[in-house]
Structure 1
C-alpha cells in the first residue's frame, strides 16, 4: 500500500512537472556573402553558409518559487571549422522568494543602455565567431543572489570557471591578422580558466524619469590582449586581472531617450576611462499606417593606451555613431535598424543594417549587413576592410 502510494505520488509529481514545461526553439539557414576576396591567405572567398539552432526549455513550479531554464545553441558552418560550435547559453535553476532570488548554473546577464556599444556589460564572454559586434554571448557559470527593495535592486555574482573568447579560424573571415591559438592562453597568477573566480556587484533603480545602474567587477578581463608567438605565427591571448566600476544612465522624456554608459578600468599596466553617450528621438505615426521612426546619435570615447602590449585596443576611442530605427508596426513586425560609425580622428567609415520581417506564424526572414566603407590603413578595423558582407537568414520557429 505504501509502495503504491509512493508510486502514485511520483507519477503525479512527474505529470505536474511535465505539464509546466514550455518548449520552443528555432532552426535557421544562414547565407553570408562577402563582396570581395579576403585580405589574408587561406581565407574563404565570398560565400559562407551555415545552419544554426536554438532550443528553449523552461519550467516554473506551480507556486512560482522555482524556475528551470535550458537554452542550448549550435551552429554548423560549411567553411570555417571554428565557427562550428555548440554552447549552453543558459542552463540554470532559480529560486524566487518575496524579495530575494537565487540563481545558479549557466546564464546570460545583460547590463547597459547605449545602442552602439555596451561598456558596462562584462559578466558574459563574447562569442566572437558569431559576429564582431560583441552582441552574442557565451553562457557563464554563476551564483547570483538578488535582493529587491523599495530603494532598488542589488545583485551579487560569484563567477567560477572562465570562458575564453571564440575567434574565427584560419579559413574564416572577419578574423585577426594571425590565428588565435587557444592552447597558448595565459591568465594572471598563472591559473587556468578553471581556477579563475570572479566577482561582480550591481545596483539598479529608477528615480522618476531616470533609470540608474551602478556596477563593480573584479576578475579576469573578458577582452584579451594578444602576444605574437613568432615561432608559430599565431596570437597567444592573455587575460589580465582587472577591476572595473561602471555606471549606466537613461533619461526618458516623452519622445526623447538620453543614454550614457561609462567605466573606469584598472589593469596591471594602466587605468583608463571610457564612455558612450547620446540620444534617441522617436517620431510616432510618420505614415498613415502608423510607422515609427527613431533617430540615433551617440559619441564613443576611450583614453586607453595605443600600445597592444599593455592591453586590448579599442577602435571606439573617438567616434560618432548616427543611425535610425524604423518600425512599420504591421502584422509582420517589419523593422529596420541602420547606422554609420565615423572615426573623428582619421575619418574612417563603417556601417551596419539589420532588417527583419515575419512570414506567417512560424517563419522570419532577416537581412544583416556590415560595411567597411572607407578605412584608414592605420585604423584598428583596417584588417576588415575587405570583409563587407550581407547575411540573409531564414528562421523557422517551433
Structure 2
C-alpha cells in the first residue's frame, strides 16, 4: 500500500540499566557501505565501562523516503560525515539532539521508492560498531550468498556477523555464488563460464497475487456483478554494472480479472536504464515517479497516469516513458523531465464496478492538442532539505493526467455516454514536510490553468505518533488533514473535472504493531464539511512467513449527494482481500 506513510520497526538491543547509573554514549563516526540492493550504516560508538549497547528506535517515512534513527543517551563527538554523492541509497544526513540526552539521525534516501518492501536489521560487532542494514526484501532470492544478509524484518543481536561480508563488490565474482554453484563451475568451459556470469548478474524478484473484490449492495447496472476474482503478477528484472554506476530495471505487470475485460490488462511499470555520476543521474525509459507528502489525497502527484481499474484511490500508476536528468548539488536537487508518451487513464468496463454511469467511452477520448504535442509533456522539480524542513517546488506543462468528463445526451435528454477530454495545462506546486519531535507536519498546494478557469487547491495536516504505547511495542499515530479546492461545489467545472475534496477533513488512526509479521492498520474517515458526506476507509496488512503477505481494504460511501462526482460510487461499498507471494 503506497499510502502507508510510516513503517516502524522497534530495534531494542540494550541491556536494562537505571538512568542514575547510565553514562552518555559517544558517537565517534559514521561509515556508509552498500551492495546492489542493501545499504549499511556503520555507527562507531566509543566503548564504555561497564560496556553498554545503544538502544534504537528506527522507522521509515515515505514521500520523500527517509530512514530515521532515534538513539537513546547518545551524543556525537564531532561533525558527522555525509554519504558520498554517488552513494546508491543515501542522499544526505541530518541530525539533531532529542529529549536532552537522545539523538536523532535522518538519512534521506535518493530514490522515490515504495518503502513497504524494505526491512531494517541491526547487528553489534566485536569491533564495538552497530550496523544498521536497510534491505530490499524483493532481492531475498535463493541465488544470493547467504553470508551477505540475514532475512528479517525485526532487529536481532548477532555479534558473529562480519561487516565486510556486507560490502561485497557489485560486480560478479566466484565468491558471490552459493557454494554448490561454485563447485559446478569448476572445470567449466569459457563459454559456460561466460553464460553463468551473465545469468548470475541478474536479480529477479516481484510478487504474484490473488484478489477477491466483493460488494455489499446490489449493483446500479444489471450488467455488473457482486463479486470479482482476479490474479496479477508483477515481476522485476534488475542488473547493475560498471561498479554500480549503471543499472537496468524491467518490471512488467499483468492482471486477469473475472467479468471486467477492461481490468484485464498489461502494463510496463518500469523499463529503465540508469547512469549515475558524482553529481548527476540520467534515467531513460518507463518509470514511476511520486510527488507528495500527505495521506488522504495526493494532490500534486502528476507525472504518472492513474491506473483506475486497479484502485480508485489513484495509488496504482501506469508506467510513464520519460527522460529524467537529476542534477545533485549541495544546495538541492533539480529533476528535469521530458515525458515522451501520453497514457490515457484506465476505466472499468460495462461489467465492472466502481465506474461511471453510463460507462466511460475510452475509445472516444478527445484531446486539446493533436499529434506529437498530445504526447509530449515537460516537468521540473527542485527539492532540498533545510534543517528539519523538506521542500519541493515543481512545474508541469503538457496534457493533463486527469481528464474532464464530458456527458453526451440522447434525444430524450438522458446521458448516453461519457467522454474523457484531455486538455493542455500548466501546474505549479509546492510540497513541504517537517518532523518536530513526535509531530509530522505536511502540506501540498498547487495552482493549475488550462482546464477552464484557473484554480487553486491545497491539502495539509499533521500526524502525531505515540511510540511504544504503554510499553506494548505498538506505535499509535493520529492523523488530521484538511483538503481545499477553489472550484467549489454545484458548478459544471467542479463536476466534470471530478473535484472531489473542496472542503473536507480527514481523521485517521495508524497502528504499527512492530511484530515479526509487520502487522499494520490504518483506519480513517473523510468528512465533507459542506455536504456532510463521508468516506470510510480501513486498510490492514500482515506478513505470513517470509514470502507471503495479506492485505485487506474496506471502503464505505455514506450520504453522497447527486451533485458530488462520488455519487457514481454511492452503491459500491466494498471489501478487497489480496494474498501476495513475494519471490
SS in 1 for 2:369: helix
Larger mean CA deviation between 182-191 and 240-249 belongs to 182-191
Partner in structure 2 of residue 143 of structure 1: 323
Closer, same or farther in 2 for the Cα pair 1:373/1:311, shift >3 Å?
closer
Matched residues in 2 for 1:84 and 1:267: separation?
Answer: 33
| Greater C-alpha radius of gyration | 2
Q: 2:253 aligns with which of 50, 73, 80?
A: 73
- Secondary structure of residue in 1 paired with 2:363: helix
Please say if residues 211 and 250 of structure 1, whose CA atoms lie closer than 8 Å, have aligned partners that are also in contact.
Answer: yes
CA contact (8 A) 2:495 2:563 kept: no
SS in 1 for 2:531: coil
Match for residue 216 of structure 2? Answer: 35
Please tell me whether residue 397 in structure 1 is matched to residue 582 in structure 2: yes
Mean CA deviation greater in 358-367 or 10-19 = 10-19
Which residue in the other structure is 2:96 paired with? none
Match of 1:115 among 291, 295, 302: 295
1:143–1:159: 8 Å Cα contact kept in structure 2? yes
**Structure 1 pair 310–51 and aligned structure 2 pair: CA distance change class (3 A):** closer
Deviation at 1:74, TM superposition (A): 1.1
Partner of 2:119: none
Instruction: Map 1:132-171 to 2 at 5 A.
Output: 132-171=312-351
Q: Which moved more, 1:183-192 or 1:248-257?
A: 183-192
Partner of 1:274: 457
- Counterpart residue number, 2:547: 362
Tell me how far 1:265 sits from its aligned partner.
Answer: 0.3
The equivalent of 1:375 in structure 2 is: 560
Distance in 2, matches of 1:47 and 1:162, equals 32
Conserved 8 A contact 1:225-1:309:
no
What secondary structure sits across from 2:568 in the alignment? helix
Unaligned segments of structure 1, at least 5 residues: 1-7
Q: Which residue of 1 aligns with 2:286?
A: 106
How far apart, CA to CA, are the structure 1 residues paired with 2:485 and 2:211? 34
Q: Which residue is equivalent to 2:399?
A: 220
Give the equivalent residue in structure 2 for 1:248: 431
Aligned residues: 389
Superposed CA offset, 1:160-211 (max 9, x none): 110000001111111011211222111113337x852100000001001100
Residue 309 and residue 345 in structure 1: after superposition, are their counterparts in 2 closer, same or farther (change >3 A)?
A: closer
CA shift, 1:142, in A, is 0.1
Equivalent position to 1:312, from 497, 517, 520: 497
CA contact (8 A) 2:487 2:494 kept: no
Where do residues 191-340 of structure 1 align in structure 2 (5 Å cutoff)?
A: 191=371, 195-230=374-409, 233-304=416-487, 306-308=491-493, 312-340=497-525
2:573 aligns with: 388
C-alpha contact 2:487 2:493 (8 A) present in aligned 1: no
Whether 1:19 aligns to 2:200 is yes
Q: Deviations over 1:237-269 (max 9, x none)?
A: 110000000000001111000000000001152
**1:383 match: secondary structure:** helix
Taking the aligned partners of 2:390 and 2:261, their CA distance within structure 1 comes to 43
- What is the alpha-carbon distance in structure 2 between the residues aligned to residue 21 and residue 317 of structure 1? 48
Contact kept, 8 Å, 1:17 with 1:61, in 2: the verdict is: no
Q: Quote the Cα distance in structure 2 between the aligned partners of 1:75 and 1:333.
A: 26
Q: How far did residue 10 of structure 1 move?
A: 8.0
TM-superposed CA distance for 1:149, in Å, is: 0.5
1:295 and 1:208 map into 2 onto residues whose CA distance is: 24
TM-superposed deviation, 1:324: 1.0
- 1:181 pairs with 2:380: no
Preserved CA contact (<8 Å) 1:270 1:310: no
Select the structure with the greater relative contact order (CA < 8 A; seq sep ≥ 6).
Answer: 1
Answering whether residue 237 of structure 2 is matched by residue 52 of structure 1, we say no
Whether the aligned pair in 1 keeps the contact of 2:362 and 2:420 (CA below 8 Å) is yes
> How far apart, CA to CA, are the structure 1 residues paired with 2:304 and 2:190?
40
Residue 374 of structure 1 and its aligned partner are, at CA, apart by: 2.8
1:89 to 257, 269, 277: 269
Q: Which moved more, 1:287-296 or 1:144-153?
A: 287-296
C-alpha RMSD of the superposition: 1.9
Deviations 1:196-235, CA, capped at 9 Å, x for gaps: 2100000001001100000000000000012223359221
Partner-residue secondary structure (3-state), 2:306: coil
Q: 1:229 to 1:11 in 2, by over 3 A?
A: farther
Aligned to 1:4: none
Q: Cα offset for 1:52? A: 1.1
Q: Report the TM-score, using the length of structure 2 for normalisation.
A: 0.64
Is the Cα contact below 8 Å between 2:426 and 2:448 reproduced in 1? Answer: yes
